[in-house]
Structure 1
Amino acid sequence: MFAGEPRCQEEDVSAPRCLQVSRSARKKMSAHRNVCSEVTKNNLNQSLLQMECHFTWGLLRDDTNLDDLEDRMYEQIEFGITENKSMVYNLLAYAKHLKGNNAEAIESLQKAAHFIQKNHTDDQDRKSIVTYGNFSWVYYHLNQLDDAHTYITKVEDACKALSSPFRYKVQLSEIYGEQGWSCLKFAGRYYEKAKDCFQKALELEPDEPEWNYGYAIAEYRLYGFFKQKTTESDGEILELLRRAVKLNPRETVVMSLLSLKLQEMKQYEEAEQYMNEALEKTPDLPYLLRYAAKFYRKKGSPDESLKLLKRAINLTPTSGILHHQIGLCYREKLNQMKKNEKYSKLSYPPRSSNVEKEELIRNAIYHFELVVEKKPMFIYAYTDLANMYVEANQYEKAEETFTKVLAMANLTPQESQQVNLNYGRYLEYHKKSETEAIRHYKRGLMIKDANYERHMCKVCLKRLAEKMLQRNARNATAFGALGYMHQLDGEKMEAIECYEKALQLEPDNEEYLSGLCDMRLSI
């Protein structure tokens, strides 16, 4: 063999002849190990799928902004928003896993485990099952199968100790409650699921303050964002919030929500009392300051609201929600100025007021732009930003913003309604494109979720169609729009009449013909 020539790879010549292994044998041994490893991994996977933890609750990465979620979890840890920090660390670990930071996820889970060990020595099994499940999943993804198996065994042992009929799951209020909180924090589309989880937790533990608090917030947000409010629903939410405050009078965030609900129901004196009490108890809690700011903005005091928001933003400078609230305050100040001008005796507003208005618009745009940068899935901020671009006569930017948000996937029904309603108004009043405006009002109306946005789409569609007919009594588009509106409302004869008039003017229009046929067949 020449100097420097590599040894033959067919065999290990440094070992005794009887111990030398051929390349083919080594390949077979390696393949065997891989097969065994795959079998083990498959077995682990079957066990993992049976667990109750963040990895099996269907919380999808594309439904939330992970950076924002992480920021909010750090805020909760820093400011002690909840006494049960293990739940916060668990959700933080899941967010880190979704970002591919599994080593950091393990660190968060270790903090969750330490918190439980320190604060829940008497009921450690009950409090630890979700954390154990998360540990096993993260180790599984790290391909550390022995560690994953260790935590699977911990879950199994805990279920046995709690007399569960299932090997890897057990019905506990703690598990339902933690799932409810995770859904509530993850994204708006999970609020209904959060409500169901808290209901199940309360069936097992009716007087637990944390589950009552969570259930009240879930209902409050559902009717605040996704469902049409009624007198009955307002009364139910009010009672849920009162009960949550009674069970945990130290919880000032739920106290502030009760104050906002009372304000909404025009019970102003009691609303003020609760808000003052909450601010006295925790004057430097960012979440509370945010709700207090909303309270004063709704009261018509945007300057007081801005003071509170600036205090909050100093505590949590990366909060997109706070920037959105600040933008809304500047918008409110702008609206107040316009209203004052409207009722002023002056024919033309002073030049200084125009300068002030421009400053308010610039400030609102600045903060709304920060929101969509920090919270790119916060749909309402996009429509607020687009409408403010309109105020600034920046129509190209408004169009770009509306187009961008309309192209987004996974909009909730109400988000879609809200965007189509606002874009329709923009098209009608600023682009003077009435036919396109009708198309977007109809898009919002076709989503049958009964709420304010759908109601306004109907109001705008009817008003615009009637205005078009006043100008031109032979406008097929207007008759077709009214026919569609009547069709969705189940007003069959009115729909037939409108579709027939539309078809007299446009005989080959397939949309009108289809609508007419559907209505006639339904009689």
Structure 2
Amino acid sequence: MTEETLKTLLLQLNCHFTWRLLEKNAEIDEIEERLHNLLEHSLLDANRYMVYNLLAYIKHLQGNYEEAIANLDEAEKSSLANAAGVKSKLLVTYSNYAWVYYHLKQYDKSQLYIDKVNGVHEELSHTSNAKDTLPEIYGEQGWSMLKFGRLYYKKAKECYEKALKEAPKDPELNSSYATAVYRLEGLEKKCLDKNCESLDLLKRAVELNPKDSVVKALLGLTLQDLKRADEGLKYIEAALEQTPNLPYLLRYVSKFYRREGMTDKALDVLKRALSLIPNSAFHHHQIGLCYRNKIKEKKKLARTDPQNKRTYTREIQELFQKSIFHFEMTVELKKTHTYAYSDLAKIYKEANQNVKAEETFKKALNVKTISEQEKQQIHFYYGDFELHAKKCEKEAIKQYMEALLIPVTTFEKGRCEKALKRLAERKIKENPRDALGFGLLGFVHQIKKNKIDAVECYEKALELEPQNEEYLSHLCELRLAI
């Protein structure tokens, strides 16, 4: 068989090498560390083969084929030990073997594993379980995509939907599907009363898979989002009682406590979690948020109890140091954690460390996997920083406008519109012939699709500044649209 023919056969396999898990879209070293933590602390022994399969693919991306094969050996052992005769669990592993040996130019071994894949398919075709290959493969593909990062959440959801068509009552698939939808809603800020898709999915997952404490915690957090925290707390406490030392549960429990204002309780849980996984970016970030909450509490006490202001001031400075330390640890451990960059920049600003704050905002905007929602939010906070901390109106306007040009809708988008409108109206009030004020108002109206009002503002801006090509361009565009 020629190399070209072999490559054609390999491309027809369903495995990590054909799922388009691209290195440029993820932090490979960070994923690898999380997978090793999962092997150490996970309670789901039956699915360890998925972890080893993904580790093998990551080793391929790193060019370490010896380790890739070692991980595939572990995946095969795990599948054989837990599959209970379900050979479909071996299909992805054998396909990955074929690809690894192809990259090593060991074409005979690559062909051998392609034959093994075909053999499993042939064997399954003669049984009543022929369709079982689909949920197995789609389930592993969805799991791998969830682990590979947020850019793959939507695709992960689609994989689980396909798997559930063939196995609608599978407990693991229902839990994973609900998790994928929950994460997508978190990215898109969609968990509202009328369109919170994850709520019913999480409830169903808890019913079908009562041993999954993590999915119970996600249900608790979703109920908290929907202003049903008392109901959510019951699921949180039930999950904590079930697996009190599972790091992946503790992170969500602490998040619930922190958002309920139970800051000390959240810190206790997080410190326990950090003792289990010291290099967890998530845990460091949550601890940083807890200390930031305590700063707000102490500042409030300082205002209401002026006699002890000096004591509170000293305690606030210590809390600043702790919060900054944990946010810095977060971005060091997870360089794609844009929310942590934003939180770090804001705490630098509060601590009057403006140079570090600006550097951090710039780093956040340069994260290679940043989403449009995150970019919009960071531009807003950057604009606020420029306006209030640096008193630089020009740069603030630039950041607000950059945020509004991003075609997504977040809470911060509305705040950007209000900030620009306030600036514009103040300028016009101070000087009725301020072209920039009318230009900014025109821009806000244009973003909000108030075309008639936008035209009037740009016409006024051009009347005051006839040579401004930007105003003229916007005006022409709007007139054509009308």
Which bracket does the TM-score occupy, shorter chain normalised? over 0.9
Residue 193 of structure 1: aligned partner: 155
Q: Residue 135 of structure 2 contacts residue 167 of structure 2 at CA under 8 Å; is this kept in 1?
A: yes
Alignment of 1:208-227 (within 5 A): 208-227=170-189
Aligned to 1:481, the other structure's residue is in SS state helix
Q: Within 5 A, what are the aligned runs for 1:384-423? A: 384-423=343-382
2:73 aligns with 110
Which residues of 2 match residues 365-444 of structure 1 at below 5 A?
Answer: 365-444=324-403
Question: Displacement, 1:161?
Answer: 3.0
Give the secondary structure class of the aligned counterpart of 1:397. Answer: helix
TM-superposed CA distance for 1:410, in Å, is 4.1
User: For structure 2, which runs of at least 5 residues remain unmatched after alignment?
Assistant: none
Show the counterpart of 1:363.
Answer: 322
| Aligned residue in 2 for 1:85 | 48
Identity within the alignment, %: 49
2:61 pairs with 1:98: yes
1:301 corresponds to which of 238, 259, 262: 262
Tell me, what secondary structure is at the counterpart of 2:195? helix
Residue 199 of structure 2 aligns with which residue?
238
1:100-121 superposed Cα distances (whole Å, 9 cap, x missing partner): 2221111111111111111113
Q: One-letter code of the match for 1:69? A: I
Matched AA of 1:315 = L
Partner of 1:69: 31
Secondary structure, aligned partner of 1:233:
coil
2:229 is equivalent to residue 268 of structure 1: yes
Q: Identify the range of structure 1 (374-383 vs 153-162) with the bigger mean alpha-carbon deviation.
A: 153-162
Distance verdict in 2 for CA 1:398–1:161, change over 3 Å: same
Distance 1:53 1:459 in 2: 49
Alignment correspondent of 2:271: 310
Runs of 4+ in 1 over 4 A off after TM superposition: none
Report if the CA contact (8 A) 1:320-1:371 is conserved: yes
- Residue 249 of structure 1 corresponds to which residue in structure 2? 210
Q: In 2 relative to 1, CA 158–457 (structure 1 residues): closer, same or farther, beyond 3 Å?
A: farther
Give the number of the structure whose alpha-carbon radius of gyration is greater: 1
Deviation at 1:337, TM superposition (A): 2.2
Q: Please give the alpha-carbon distance, in whole angstroms, between the structure 1 residues aligned to 2:476 and 2:349.
A: 41
Taking a change above 3 Å as real, the CA distance of residues 179 and 464 of structure 1, as seen in their structure-2 partners, is farther
- Matched residue, 1:285: 246
CA distance in 2, matches of 1:219, 1:450: 19
Alpha-carbon distance, 1:349 to partner = 6.4
Q: Which runs of 5+ in 1 are unaligned?
A: 1-38
Query: CA 1:453/1:193 → structure 2, altered by over 3 Å: closer, same or farther?
Result: farther
> What SS does structure 2 have at the residue aligned with 1:435?
helix
Alignment of 1:17-36 (within 5 A): none
Q: How does 1:51-200 map to 2 (within 5 A)?
A: 51-82=13-44, 83-124=46-87, 126-163=88-125, 172-200=134-162
**What's the counterpart of residue 207 of structure 1?**
169
Distance 1:472 1:102 in 2: 69
For 1:24, the equivalent position in structure 2 comes to none
Describe the SS at the equivalent of 2:2.
Answer: helix
Classify 1:72/1:483 alpha carbon distance in 2 versus 1 (closer, same or farther; 3 Å).
Answer: same
Q: CA deviation at 1:385?
A: 1.1
C-alpha distance 375-81 of structure 1, shift in aligned 2 (>3 A): farther
Quick one: which of 288, 303, 311 aligns to 1:352? 311
Q: What SS class does the counterpart of residue 295 from structure 1 fall into? A: helix
1:275-306 Cα deviation digits (max 9, x unpaired): 11111110000011111110110010111111
| Segment of structure 1 superposing worse, 324-333 or 138-147 | 138-147
- 1:336 and 2:297 matched: yes
State the TM-score, normalizing by the size of structure 1. 0.87
Contact 1:229–1:451 (CA<8 Å) still a contact in 2? no
One-letter amino acid matched to 1:246: E
Contact 1:484 1:495 in 2 (8 A): yes
User: Equivalents in 2 of 1:228, 1:424: separation in Å?
Assistant: 25
Q: Give 1:505's aligned residue.
A: 464
Amino acid corresponding to residue 18 of structure 2 in structure 1? T
Task: Report the Cα distance in structure 2 between the residues aligned to 1:211 and 1:475, rounded to whole angstroms.
Answer: 60
1:461/1:183 CA distance change after superposition, 3 Å: farther
| Inter-partner Cα distance in structure 1 for 2:167 and 2:294 | 46
- Over 3 Å counting, the alpha-carbon distance change for 1:135 and 1:372 in structure 2 is same
Could you tell me which amino acid in structure 2 is paired with residue 413 of structure 1?
Answer: E
Aligned pair partner of 1:445 in 385, 397, 404 = 404
**Contact 1:448–1:454 at 8 Å: present in 2 too?**
no
Shift in Å, 1:450: 2.3
In the TM superposition, what is the alpha-carbon distance from 1:423 to its structure 2 partner? 0.7
Q: CA RMSD in A?
A: 1.9
Sort the Cα spacing of 1:473 and 1:133 in 2 relative to 1 into closer, same or farther, 3 A. farther
CA drift of 1:496 comes to 0.7
Change (3 A) 1:464 1:157: farther
User: What is the identity, as a one-letter code, of the residue corresponding to 1:322?
Assistant: H
Deviation of 1:479 after TM superposition, in Å, equals 2.2
- The aligned length equals 477
Shift of 1:151: 1.0
In 1, are the aligned partners of 2:377 and 2:410 still within 8 Å (CA)? no
Q: What code does the residue aligned with 2:160 have?
A: F
Contact 1:435 1:477 in 2 (8 A): no
Q: Give the Cα separation in 1 of the matches to 2:190 and 2:463.
A: 38
Map 1:476-515 to 2 at 5 A: 476-515=435-474
Q: C-alpha deviations, 1:206-259, integer Å up to 9, x for none?
A: 11111211111111111112244432222x221111011111011000100111
Cα-to-partner distance string for 1:62-114 (whole Å, 9 max, x where unaligned): 22112211121112212225341111111121122212222111111111111
Tell me if structure 2 keeps the 8 A contact 1:469–1:478.
yes
Secondary structure, in 3 states, of the residue corresponding to 1:231? coil
Distance 1:453 1:56 in 2: 38
Is residue 331–residue 340 contact of structure 2 (8 Å, CA) maintained in 1?
Answer: yes
